[in-house]
Each structure stands twice: as C-alpha cells, then as structure tokens.
Amino acid sequence: MDASDATRSRLRSLPVFAGVEATGFPEKGLPDNPLPVVADWIFAAHAAGQQEPHAMSLCTVVPAGVPSSRVLIVKDIDDDRLYFATPSDSRKGREIAANPNVSAHFHWPAVGRQVRIVGTAADAGRAASEADFAERGRGSRLAAHLHRPGSPADRAAVLAEFERLGTVHPEEVPCPPGWTLYGITPTEVELWEASADRVHHRVVYRGEDGAWRRELLWP
C-alpha cells in the first residue's frame, strides 16, 4: 500500500453523519421568507452543541470567474440580509467591489444540516460599520488595525506592531476607515437536512419579482 492508498483508505473510513440527532425537517411549517429559518437553524445547531454555528464560508468570484472562500462570522440576520464585517481592502472586499456576486454556506454537523445562500454583497453604510466595530472586543479592534497590504518581515514584527498599537490606543480604538459591515441580499436559499437512510431533504427558495418561491428538490 503506497502513501496515497493509505490516505484514501483512511479518508474513506472516516464516519459521516455520525451521531446526527435528526431535528426533523419543518417543511410544512416553513415561512414565506427563508432568512428567519437560517437564524433559527443557527440557534438550533448551537442548542445541539455545534461550535461556532454562526460561522459561514463566503465565496467571492473575481470577474475572470476564479472563486475563493474563507470563513466569516455572521453578525446579524434580518428579513432582507445577512451581515458580516471585514476590511474593504481585504481580498474579499476587493473582490466584492469588482463583482458583488457571492455565495455563503453553513454546515452544522451536530444537526446534519447545511444552508446554501447565493446573492449579492454590498456595504451596509458607515454608521452600521462603526457600530459593528464598537461592539468588538478590544483585541479584535486592535487587530483590525494590523490589516495592511504587503508582507510583514516575520511573525515577531506582527506581534511587535500589535503591542505598539496597544500603547498608541490605550483606551479608545478608532474604527479603521476601511472597516465595513456588508449585507448579503440573497436571491437563493437552499435548506438541506441529512436523513439516516441517505434520502436527504432539500428545499430551495428563489427570489422572483420581490417575492420568494419555494420548491422541494430531489436529494
């Protein structure tokens, strides 16, 4: 057995959907708007012991069509949008400025559920961004000032700069000009729940003419 066979066999022996407590797909009781369901599912996953249930992967796409993903924390969900915060001159911020089409994805192994969101991201405005920044912990606020282009000389230079920022801002930490709260306005939300018999349950909502249309999908 060579190394790639060993990797393959180890990967294939890992369990999937292990220990999932089926919460029961609420198909009949689904509301017209999917966004409150996303919030409900985050809290249901938390109640089932899922760590960081409010972490989602966000995929951006450059105009040439090349995608990239990273994990972000969802800061709020209202009836129209899901919100996250990040520097506007980060890779994702620059990619959104060039192409606002994004996809977000949640996976909650503790409840065997995932949600796919497709939509567009836009700056939620200066006041909202500053309000988000003000609610962050001191370490996160200082760390936001570490964001800059180029490469540090080494890790020690990063830690020294973090320390310096702490002395420059002993109390108030100003909101960096690029700190931005983004709202994702979804055009599609798919709710997915695992079933022990592998006949998984899927419902997709699609936004059309200002209203949501909902349909069941084949697993």
Q: Considering only 78-86, 106-114, 156-164, 172-180, which stretch makes contact with ligand FMN by CB under 6 A? A: 78-86
Using the rule CB under 6 A, is 131 a contact of ligand FMN?
A: no
Using the rule CB under 6 A, is 54 a contact of ligand FMN?
A: no
Using the rule CB under 6 A, is 135 a contact of ligand FMN?
A: no
Contacting residue, 25, 35, 41, 86, with ligand FMN by CB under 6 A = 86
Tell me how many residues contact ligand FMN (CB under 6 A).
12
Percent of the chain as helix, strand, coil, to the nearest 5 = 30, 30, 40
Closest CA to 114 of 191, 203, 7, 20: 191
Q: Are 194 and 115 in contact (CB under 8 A)?
A: no
Using the rule CB under 6 A, is 90 a contact of ligand FMN?
A: yes
Q: Are 219 and 201 in contact (CB under 8 A)?
A: yes
Q: Are 106 and 115 in contact (CB under 8 A)?
A: yes
91 annotated as ligand-binding = yes
70 annotated as ligand-binding = yes
Give 111's DSSP letter: G
Binding site for ligand FMN (CB under 6 A): 52, 55, 70-73, 84-86, 90-92
Annotation: binding site for FMN: 70-75, 91-92, 114, 192, 202
